[in-house]
Amino acid sequence: MSRWEPGARERLVMAAVDLFTEQGYDATTVAQIAERAGVTKSTFFRHFPDKRELLVAGQETLSRLLAEGIAEAPEAAGPLDAVAAGLDRASAAMGPMNRELAPRLKAAVAASAELQQRDALKDVGLATAMTTALTARGIPEPTAALASELGLLAFKRGFAAWSATPPSPASPLSPHVQSALTELRRATTTLT
């Protein structure tokens, strides 16, 4: 096992998802994940505090990208237009590995109450990042929170649609997410 082989983090995520799918989350050990990824246990722990965190490996990056996109939206952009800018920024970071892992990750989360809880916390973290970025733009907190929740829902719906389509370089995530956000915007007009 090589100590500093490039791509260790990605290999750990892939190995974990494969093992969670094959034998279940509870039956999978850190040692098995490290072995499958071709790294040592100490390398595993340099990247992740525990096996549960593997499934939210990109949360910090995703939160940062959402917030940056919102912050860089034009000054005159309304809350949902700013969220759309954040969603574009975050969507651009999603590639073939994300698409490949999606169905297996979904199955692993569905089969484990612990992973369902961690997945829910991830959603809270993403919504909080967007809400914080929106309030920094001067958007009142209730409006910012609502726009963030709609943005999160759009991201999840768009990601699910994207994951279900055949892979192609001409099919990035962003149009799926933006389409979901447009659909949700229309839906909000029927709430009154």
Question: Per residue in 83-118, pLDDT tens?
Answer: 999 999 999 988 887 888 888 888 888 888 888 888
166 and 179 both lie in a single domain:
yes
Distance between CA 62 and CA 183 in Å, rounded?
22
In a domain, 172, yes or no: yes
Q: pLDDT tens digits for 145-183?
A: 999 999 999 999 999 999 888 877 678 999 999 999 999
Distance between CA 135 and CA 71 in Å, rounded?
10
- In the chain, the number of structural domains is 2
| Cβ-Cβ contacts under 8 Å for 155 (sequence gap 6 or more) | 87, 90, 91, 126, 177, 180
What pTM was computed for the model?
0.83
Q: Which domain does 167 fall in, by range?
A: 58-188
Q: How far is CA 155 from the centre of its chain?
A: 8
In a domain, 3, yes or no: no
In a domain, 2, yes or no: no
- CATH code of the domain containing 160: 1.10.357.10
49 and 67 both lie in a single domain:
no
Backbone torsions φ then ψ of 36, nearest 5 degrees: -60, -35
In this predicted structure, the answer to whether residue 9 has a pLDDT above a threshold of 90 is no
Distance between CA 115 and CA 185 in Å, rounded?
30
88 and 144 both lie in a single domain:
yes
